[in-house]
Amino acid sequence: MNSDSNSSSSSSSGLFDYMVNDYVEWHESITQRRKEDELIEEAINIVVVPFVTSPYQVPFTLEPTYQRWYVPRDREYADIQLYNDYFSPQPLYPDNMFRRRFRMRKNVFTHIVNKLSESDVYFQQRPDATGRLGASPLQKCTAAIRILAYGTSAGAVDEYLKIASSTAREGLAHFVEGVVAQFGPEYLRRASTMDTERLLRESYVRGFPGMMGSIDCMHWEWKNCPRAWKGMYQGRSKTTTVILEVVASQDLWIWHAFFGTPGSCNDINVLQRSSVFSDICEGKALEVTFNVNGNTYNMGYYLTNGIYPKWATFIPAIKHPQTGKHKLFTKKKESYRKDVERAFGVLQTRFAIIRQPSLAWSTEILWKIVMACIIMHNMIVEDERDGYLHYDATEFINDQPQNLAGSPTGNNNQPFTVRSGRLDRLNLNSYMENRNNVRDRETHIALKNDLVEHIWGRFGNE
């Protein structure tokens, strides 16, 4: 009995000793860990804290948040005012002021607005997320016309039309794209049979049988040309420009427009890139036959300046005329070649954006602007051609099918004939033959001499 009690007491004391030892070890480890934490904190206070609180340390501040800038424009009132000023049955401003400020008559402008509203969703008045109607088609098209006509910035139309500059720029891009897409096929078309007949009648009356118009180039300064491209677009004027080549007739209609050649090129380089004679070489052009001084020619020609090559389709002036015949020919030719110069002047006057340095950043935008201006220029010419001074509007009566040469009831006594050409794309020999005919120097010399004699015989007694 005593032995059992002694053994139990010894086991209890051993368990107690084990628990005491375990507690002592745990307490020592905790104490050691606390000492290490204190040492780490002391090191931070000595080394890190002075660096963080140094005067050279930039204090951290939260960046302010900016809200979207909103201008409460009353575009509904601006739309009503625009309608009352120009488009109501009894507008505030008469038709002559509309013509001066919009560069065209009201019927032409409304035709453009209606056509763009039908073809482009952008020009349709729609509500925004709040249910408020956006700008009307009249406001957007008027803003685009004002920018093109006056050459002003996009923000200049905000005060009257209540349209932001970003909306005006976006509307201008849609406007020029829509004009080119909707009206380009009609007003940048090739000369049809009736058009060619009329051009040949005009040239015959003026003393140059077979003349199809005048060709020349102009430069449009490109202010925002990328620096890497300046060497290519900078010509002898030391400014970056882009070249426009056109063919214009007496009524200032532009029949051919080629834009995009860098300003470092001359007129010959532009001609090599242009497609002005592509239809003739491919057999698509109309076959024109006319008679000058008893000789027959089967290809029309353009009046040019002296830089153009001596091709059968170009007639330049005589540089230093000595005889009376040569002086009369040069006088008549230079006066008629001014048609293309007048076309350039009228185009730049109507649309000042072409006269001023361009602020666009890509040639694609420049091309769309130029083509849209040319298309609207031709629309204005078609609408106002009958009111030109010294212009015989009765000649358009002869454009009717019953009055054309070759028709059953037509007048076949005209000094020229016009027939449709035959297209043969697979025949390379025909293409090269047409190309050589266009560049024939002997035909050029013979035609020029015949024109000198023809003009002397017709106007020499004046």
pLDDT score of 97 more than 90: yes
Structure tokens at 433: 């033959």
DSSP-assigned states of every residue in 186-199: HHTPPP-HHHHHHH
pLDDT of 230-265, one tens digit each? Answer: 889 988 888 999 999 999 999 999 999 999 999 999
pLDDT of 135-155, one tens digit each? Answer: 999 999 999 999 999 998 888
Indicate the pLDDT class of residue 54, thresholds 50, 70 and 90: low
How confident is the model over 162-173, as a mean pLDDT?
92
More confident residue, 166 or 396: 166
How confident is the model over 219-235, as a mean pLDDT?
90
pLDDT of 397-438, one tens digit each? Answer: 344 444 444 333 334 456 666 666 555 555 778 888 888 999
**Neighbour-count burial of 2, counting CB atoms closer than 10 A to its CB (0-12 exposed, 13-18 middle, 19+ buried):** exposed
pLDDT of residue 60: 54
How confident is the model over 277-300, as a mean pLDDT?
87
Q: What is the rounded CA–CA span in Å between residue 162 and residue 74?
A: 7
pLDDT of 267-286, one tens digit each? Answer: 999 999 998 888 888 888 88
pLDDT of 61-96, one tens digit each? Answer: 666 777 777 888 888 999 999 999 999 999 999 999
Buried b (16+ CB within 10 A) or exposed e, 367-393: bbbbbbbbbbbbbbbeeeeeeeeeeee
pLDDT score of 117 more than 90: yes
